[in-house]
Amino acid sequence: MIFDAAQDDIDVTISALAAEFARTAAEYDRTAAFPFANIQRLRDTGLQALVTPREFGGRGLGLARAERVVNGISRGEASTGLVLAQQYLFHAGLLRNPEFSESLREKIFRSSVTDGAFVNSLRVEPDLGTPIRGGLPATLARRTPDGWSLTGRKIYSTGAPVLAWNAVWARTDEETPRVGVFVVPAGSKGFRIEETWRQLGMRASGSHDVVLDDVRIPFDHAAELKTLAERAAPDATQIAWVSALFSTVYDGAARAGRDWFITFLRDRAPSNLGASLATLPRMQEALGEIDAALYANRVLLTNLGERVDRGDIPHPQESLYVKHNVARNALHAVSKALELAGNPGLSQNNPLERHYRDVLCARVHSPQTDSIFLGGGRVALASAGVPFNA
């Protein structure tokens, strides 16, 4: 099954992959094994190169299409969807970023087409947490005669077992440290993965620790080296991509939960009722509530993707509100289904509890709710001319 972006059958293609991935999702969740077979199926369809520029052999598509693909894949197996989302995010950012060397950009882009190579940004650390809240990373880049030497540890490195390129957030050992991205090829000497991922949800995402011990890379594998004071305001386009692709993973998982709930209502017929649960107005109302939440998500995600693709880039705060609302609606939808399904919904013999655990993970992606609301409040006050700094 080869995916052709010029055709209108993308939904059919993605639906087929989602159904295939759903058949093994429970086992991946139970064992927390990485879904290598799913990744290979993405390569078989060329989906790993969906946003890779056409000049390098990719499909060159935008956010609207990428979002729909990630949503559909996540409906089958959410961890696979998250790995794919990270791939699209990095490629979209790399396309717009002139600070990476042309040779490195070409290597990363072409390898996605020729080798099915995956990439992700490794930013979070044990002590620092997420860098979005400020602070210098502990991972250290030391200048050598022929490049850089990297030493440190990254946590929550989604897709680690399959990444060909690891974009490591680190600081230099200079008197005034600069912070930037240091791209480490998989298999580099001193680079290793520690299998530490033991989470409640997204268990198959392979988000293990990555340890770097004097890992050597060339000079041209470093980019965006700036002091914290020199770093520019966040890129509104990148924030839109992050907001759409992260949140759509969990919307996809919630939709899978909704689909199971419909099947449950149809098939469950208590003897004291003498009919299926689907005949009860209370269940019909609940399903309508679930669909209302997911409908709002589809409107938000489609609008955001289409705006970005036509160059109408929203204010970063608008994109972050999309992220928050989509995640909240997804959690509400699957929580409602779980509430009405009762014990069968909590049983590991059924997928609903897995979808619930996966959707819970939407809350931890940066920026988190408090940061989104704080930023939004300050934007509103500034727009109204109201002073808010103490």
- Give 174-225 pLDDT, tens digit per residue: 999 999 999 999 999 999 999 999 999 999 999 999 999 999 999 999 999 9
Q: Round to whole Å and give the CA distance between 89 and 163.
A: 14
What CATH number is associated with residue 208?
A: 2.40.110.10
Mean pLDDT of the chain: 94
Shared domain check, 353 and 244: yes
- CA–chain centroid gap for 327, Å, is 12
pTM over 0.75: yes
Report the relative pairing of strands 179-185 and 163-172 from DSSP bridges.
antiparallel
Residue 106 lies in domain: 10-116
Find the farthest-apart pair of alpha carbons in the chain and give their distance in angstroms, rounded. Answer: 80
pLDDT higher than 50, residue 300: yes
Question: In which element (H, E) is residue 167 found?
Answer: strand 163-172
Shared domain check, 311 and 335: yes
Closest C-alpha among 361, 347, 343, 364 to residue 26: 347
Q: Round to whole Å and give the CA distance between 5 and 50.
A: 8
Whether 96 contacts 237, CB under 8 Å = yes
Closest C-alpha among 252, 264, 263 to residue 361: 252
pLDDT at 13: 84
- Give 330-379 pLDDT, tens digit per residue: 999 999 999 999 999 999 999 999 999 999 999 999 899 999 999 999 99
Shared domain check, 103 and 126: no
Q: What proportion of the chain, given as a percentage, has pLDDT over 90?
A: 89
**Domain presence at residue 273:** yes
- Give 61-98 pLDDT, tens digit per residue: 999 999 999 999 999 999 999 999 999 999 999 999 98
**Domain presence at residue 1:** no
Q: Round to whole Å and give the CA distance between 112 and 291.
A: 37
Phi, psi for 388 (deg, rounded to 5): -135, -5
pLDDT higher than 60, residue 3: no
For the segment 248-254, the average pLDDT, to the nearest whole number, is 98
Shared domain check, 284 and 346: yes
Which of 116, 135, 170 is the endpoint of a domain?
A: 116
pLDDT at 132: 65
Whether 194 contacts 205, CB under 8 Å = no
Band the pLDDT of 1: cuts 50, 70, 90: very low
- CA–chain centroid gap for 107, Å, is 23
Q: State both tokens at 329.
A: 């609606």
> Of the given ranges (44-53, 69-78, 127-136, 274-283), which has the lowest mean pLDDT?
127-136
Cα 331-318-364 angle, rounded to 5 deg: 40
Phi, psi for 353 (deg, rounded to 5): -65, -30
**3-state SS class at 301:** helix
Which of 75, 101, 116 is the endpoint of a domain?
A: 116
- Give 229-248 pLDDT, tens digit per residue: 888 777 999 999 999 999 99
**Domain presence at residue 280:** yes
Which of 116, 151, 179 is the endpoint of a domain?
A: 116
Tell whether the torsion through CA atoms of 241, 368, 250 and 283 is positive or negative.
negative
**Domain presence at residue 390:** no
Band the pLDDT of 294: cuts 50, 70, 90: very high
**Domain presence at residue 98:** yes
pLDDT at 389: 80
> How many domains are contained in the chain?
3
Shared domain check, 304 and 220: no
